[in-house]
Chain A
């Protein structure tokens, strides 16, 4: 068995599969992520970060190259993944508890077992008192906590997170990041986390991958974040280690952001 949870080898992705001359979003993209690692992807807008996640989850398939998960080629939707989106992905007609139960319900888990797990997760994300509320009655932070529980309850092996906290205000975002780290630390899932926020990437990850400016984007640099765990997202950004790695990554990221800006203007 491959030690890699996720292996992306020489992948290209085009919107149009028939027309090989249409510009590729991703080209020659390769990346491997060992089981249990927390990896963040940063890069300028339009560099195909989300496309990468969609290919790992099997929602999209590469135009060429291979994506494999736990050594198996991805050719269908990967239900071993938990996916958390930037926007709202709670069902508005279900209460918080029913939303958290959704994944287990789809898998045909018996009702009493679901109830047990839902109660457990409501408590873990501090929503015990809000189980009967509908999403529109919750605050943005509460909705994200419910989404976290919804993702974790099916016990996925891989977590795919696409700018999950970007819509939140800074304080709430930091709280959520700490909460995510807490849950993650207890069973060390493999995480692929897309963000445009470099501080968030450094504070959470074992490794930060930098994507090149699109089109024909690919991972170009990687930075190992050698900061001890457990980490506190609030405190970590004041440490010297954090500041020096931040400067190092930012110098590289800035080049790509400027390149992407030139592409956009040209």
Chain B
């Protein structure tokens, strides 16, 4: 407990020190505040956003897009990963397509999604889904092939049907791989949402940042980036909490607490 507290203290000190260096550099004129922003003003902007409540509709939209992309992408990745992991022929057929889609720089799809789904949330959700899906998919797909054969044989001799194997063996083992990919997936969902907004939208934190950039309001840009980062950290924390509950059977799961 004491050790954990010490780590937290050092983390916080490091943050304050970095901010202090930034502040020092810009206020002493070593870095031009016009291009590099000023930490105190950024802080003021953030406080103002939250005090006025003007940030909430934007933040709400971005988080909604993130959560939708994350959920749809994860469920899709899990389902397809299990299916292709278990069905040999299907995986042989789809292999080049999967690899192709994964190799494709998904960001260039954003304008296409905007044309297809309009400037509302669904074009952003779609972009996020294409990013999240493959992370989860590949984890589950490779994981399914590594299920301990003894577990399967043992369950079969105990009388398990194919459906029971899926429910009691493949799905729970797949959850372990899903969770190992969720931390990168949640970040990707966020990236998808913000980039989508950045490329064309009327609301969202990405849109706020784009507006600020348009008028060279560098402090607002940084404020937007910081709010996004804080949100991403919070979402990551949420994933850790859920993970700790579902993965409590895993050795070393208690070591995850940080």
Asked whether B164 lies within 8 Å of A136 as measured between CB atoms, the reply is no
Asked whether B250 lies within 8 Å of A102 as measured between CB atoms, the reply is no
Interface residues of B in 154-179 (CB under 8 A from A): 154-160, 164, 168-169, 172-173, 175
Asked whether A93 lies within 8 Å of B148 as measured between CB atoms, the reply is no
Asked whether A85 lies within 8 Å of B168 as measured between CB atoms, the reply is no
Interface residue tally on B, bucketed by range: 20 to 34
**Which of B150, B151, B159, B172 is in CB contact (< 8 Å) with A103?**
B159
Pairs A–B under 8 Å by Cβ, sample size 23: A57-B157, A59-B153, A59-B156, A59-B157, A77-B156, A78-B157, A79-B159, A85-B153, A85-B154, A87-B148, A88-B148, A89-B148, A89-B151, A91-B168, A91-B172, A92-B250, A93-B175, A102-B155, A103-B158, A103-B159, A106-B164, A136-B250, A160-B157
Alpha-carbon distance A134/B156, docked complex (angstroms): 22
B interface residues with partner A (beta carbon < 8 Å): 148, 150-151, 153-160, 164, 168-169, 172-173, 175, 248-251
Q: Cβ of A93: which chain B residues have Cβ within 8 Å of it? A: 172-173, 175, 249-250
Alpha-carbon distance A103/B160, docked complex (angstroms): 8
A interface residues with partner B (beta carbon < 8 Å): 54, 57-59, 77-79, 81-83, 85-89, 91-95, 102-103, 106-107, 134-136, 154, 160
Q: Cβ of A54: which chain B residues have Cβ within 8 Å of it? A: 153
Alpha-carbon distance A63/B158, docked complex (angstroms): 24
Alpha-carbon distance A92/B169, docked complex (angstroms): 10
Q: With A91-B172, A134-B248, A136-B250 in contact, do A106 and B148 touch (Cβ < 8 Å)?
A: no
Alpha-carbon distance A85/B168, docked complex (angstroms): 19
**Which of A78, A82, A85, A134 is in CB contact (< 8 Å) with B150?**
A85
- CB proximity of A83 to chain B, nearest CB, Å: 4
Q: Cβ of A78: which chain B residues have Cβ within 8 Å of it? A: 157
Asked whether B250 lies within 8 Å of A154 as measured between CB atoms, the reply is no
Alpha-carbon distance A13/B248, docked complex (angstroms): 42
Q: Cβ of A160: which chain B residues have Cβ within 8 Å of it? A: 157
Residue on B nearest A89 in the bound complex, by CB: B154
Asked whether A91 lies within 8 Å of B169 as measured between CB atoms, the reply is yes
Please name the 4 residue pairs, one residue from A and one from B, whose CB atoms are nearest each other, closest first: A136-B251, A103-B158, A89-B154, A79-B159
- CB proximity of B243 to chain A, nearest CB, Å: 13
Asked whether A89 lies within 8 Å of B150 as measured between CB atoms, the reply is yes
Alpha-carbon distance A82/B156, docked complex (angstroms): 10
Q: Cβ of B248: which chain A residues have Cβ within 8 Å of it? A: 134
Asked whether B249 lies within 8 Å of A94 as measured between CB atoms, the reply is yes
Q: Cβ of A89: which chain B residues have Cβ within 8 Å of it? A: 148, 150-151, 153-154
- CB proximity of B196 to chain A, nearest CB, Å: 36
Alpha-carbon distance A57/B175, docked complex (angstroms): 30
Q: With A88-B148, A88-B150, A91-B172 in contact, do A79 and B157 touch (Cβ < 8 Å)?
A: yes
Q: Cβ of B169: which chain A residues have Cβ within 8 Å of it? A: 91
Asked whether B158 lies within 8 Å of A79 as measured between CB atoms, the reply is yes
- CB proximity of B154 to chain A, nearest CB, Å: 4
**Which of A83, A92, A94, A106 is in CB contact (< 8 Å) with B153?**
A83
